[in-house]
Structure formats: structure tokens, C-alpha cells
Amino acid sequence: MPTKTTMPSRCPVCAQDLVRADAAGVSWCPSCRWNLDVYDPALAPWRGTRMIGRWGFRRGLELDRATHEELLADPEVRPAGPSPGEVWLVAVSVVLALIGVAAVGYLGWLVVADALPPGVRLVLAVPAVLVLLLVKPSFGWVPKSGVIAESEAPQLHRLVREVADAAGTPVPDVICADLSINAGVARLGWRQRSVLVIGIPLWLMLPRPARVSLLAHELGHLANGDPLRVRRTLPARTFGARAVAATGGRNPWRRALHAANSLAEQRSGTAVLIGMAVHGVLALVNVAGATAQLLVDSVAMPDSRRAEYRADLVARRVGGTGPFLQSSETVLLAGRIWQDLWHLAPRLRSEQLEPTAAETRQHLAGHLPLARQLTRRTADLWSTHPSEDQRMRLIEALPRIDGTLHVDDARWAEIDSELAPWRRFAHNVLLGTRDRF
């Protein structure tokens, strides 16, 4: 009779109690990390099959280890040139651009082809239009709302200039604020202007020195040329995702089956066959797009992850080791801190959000070790960012430094005063989301 293998309740290495994130998950030791670097389908991103997910998880860990060794040997190392993955993505992007140009030329020929009836020309134009929708360039738009002008926040702009100088990059063309628990930098519009976006909720949760680290990380991407690298390879990066979105998203065969059943109940004969054929073709295109996207991401994401590590090194150099680790810890706890602020919002004034977030962050500090370790289970080859644990381990392995930029409390008070309208906006959002439940 087959026997059932069960996991031990204590670590076989250090005898500590094991933990698991889910009843069906794989347990590990939080003390010595035994069994932590093991694929856990309960936590890992779903990639179609467990075999693919398990391979992607192992491959992601291998890439992170190799990147750690490279950067620990020389934290100031700079890529000698484009990586093989970037070269491949640029080549694919050029091919897609040429296909788009050919589609435009084909449509132009159809317009002047007098020998073809209008109905025939319209039918022949459909494939070219679909191709253009998949390969059209996307430059994005510079935000018009949320822009923080220098006249409104001179001290914030001064801080960003100082961080940009320390990071070795030009000052961003536009500084924006939004209400995401995030921050980012990009090049947008026809002129490819650099845009720095600061998520006010995350800004409020961060200790003041960690805000410098946050800005340095984002501007480090500009210093390393990451937005431009992404822009050059964007056609290749988005082609498969656009095909998947245009054909309905995930689970194409399930949709095709439901559509066939619905058609069979409502109609009969030729209409059912045509409908099933159409949905079958859509499902095939969907699967092809998803496969292409998976292949592209397997080439693109390693460079994306290395870019995050390099930006972290800029944040360490400008803000210091301690503030960088504080920013990472805040990101790990951000969801719980925001949830606590949501509960407390009716009893708080907007100016109390920051001290309350600091108290909550300190209260939740005991959750950090497990929250940090859990991030290792949720990353893989196709993740855009390395896990927070991997990023923190790299900075912790390097000598501790204080950073090159320091801001005194008086300047922070001025910056807080400049951002007071956004603080009130975030407070109103907390109260508004509360009203929806």
C-alpha cells in the first residue's frame, strides 16, 4: 500500500518550528532558512503549468545568485555594452517595426487599387489593420494631472536636483504625484521627457532618510539608462501581451468552449461551425501570443532584474545602507500599514498620517522576517523585480556606508508643508474607500 510522505513539523537542521504561508504550501524554517528556496505552487506566479513554473523559479534563483556574485565583486561595475538579450530584443523590435511599415504600405496600395471593388478592399485591409494594432509604437503620455510644479514645491525640486546630481543623472523634466503605494520613472511622449512619479501613500509611510533612498533608486534608473533601454525594445516586449489582450486574455480554450456551447443552444448548422472556427482561431492566436510573450519575457526580465540591483546600488551610495534597508522594510509592510491607516482614518487629521504610519511600522516590525522570506517564494525568471529579500541581502553583504546626501529636519518640514495638499488628498482617499465598504 502506498505511503504518504509528510513534512516534519521541526527543522531537521536547527530543530526550530517550521512555518508555511498556506495550508497547502511548502513549509520552511524561518531561522536557518532550510527548505526556503523550494518551489511552492501556492505562492509562485502561475505560468501555465507547474513544470514551467518550477523551472522559472529555479532559473530566477540562479540568475540572482550570479548577479549577486558579479556585483559583490565590483559594485561599481557597468555593462560594457548591450547584453545579448537586449540585442535580441532590439532585433525583434526592428523586425516588428518593418512589418508595421509594410502593413502601412499595403494599406496605401489598397487605397489606390481601383481594380478591386470597395468591399474586397475592406476585407483585405482587415489583416493589415490587425497587424498595425499589434505593432504600433506607443510613446505614452506625460501626465497632465498630479504635476508638482517647482513654484509649488521649491524644496522638493531642490531635493530631487541634489539626488540627481549625486546619482549622476540630469534632473527629471517632470515630477508628478499619484496615490499609488509605489514610485517610478519613465520617458514619455514624443519628446521622451523623463518623468518621476512619487506615490504619496508610500512617501508618507517612509522614514525621512528612506525617502532620499527611494528618490535615488528611481533616479538611478535614469543614470543607468534603463527607461531608454526599455523604450528601444518596447515593440518586442508588448507584441505578445497585446495579442493576448486583443483575444480576450487568459483561459482562451475555456472561453472557446463556453462560446461553442452557447452557439449550439441558440443556433444550428453552418452558423455554429463558423462560430466555433472563429473562436478556435482566436484561441490559437491567444496561445501563440502568450507563448511569444513568455519567450520574450524570459529574455527581457533578467536585464530588468539586473537594472533593479544597479539602481539599488545607486540608492545605497546616495542615501546610505540604513535608509535603503528602511525603504525595503517599509515596502514589505506597506499593505498592512495602509490597512491600519484605513481603519484609523476617521479619527486622524491629515497631518497625523505620517507619525501614525511610523508607529504602525514599528508595531509591525515583528512581521518583517517572515514577510521578507516570503518574497523569495513569489519571484521567478519572469518577474520584473527581484524579491525584496534578494535585494536586501545584496546591500547587507556590502560594507555599510552612510551615503553622500543628508537632509536636515528643517528642510524636511518645508517639504512636508509643500506636500500638505497631497497629504490631505491621501487622507480623503482613505475616508472615501472606507465609505465604499
pLDDT tens figures, 311-332: 999 999 999 999 999 999 999 9
How many angstroms separate the CA atoms of 348 and 359, rounded?
A: 13
Q: Which residues pair with 10 in a beta bridge?
A: 17
- Of 33-47, 109-123, 340-354, the range with the highest mean pLDDT is 340-354
pTM of the entire structure? 0.88
What is the average pLDDT across 71-83? 83
- Number of CB atoms found within 10 A of residue 289's CB: 21
382: its cell numbers: 519572469
Question: If we measure between CA atoms, which residue out of 227, 220, 229, 225 comes closest to residue 165?
Answer: 220
- pLDDT over 70 percentage in the chain: 94
Flag whether pLDDT at 2 surpasses 50: no
Candidate from 232-236, 328-332, 401-405, 425-429 with smallest mean pLDDT: 232-236
Flag whether pLDDT at 236 surpasses 80: yes
What is the average pLDDT across 50-67? 91
- pLDDT over 90 percentage in the chain: 59
Flag whether pLDDT at 50 surpasses 50: yes
The predicted pLDDT at position 268 comes to 60
pLDDT tens figures, 345-391: 999 999 999 999 999 999 999 999 999 999 999 988 988 899 999 99
Q: Give the pLDDT band of residue 1 (cuts 50, 70, 90).
A: very low
What is the average pLDDT across 407-434? 92
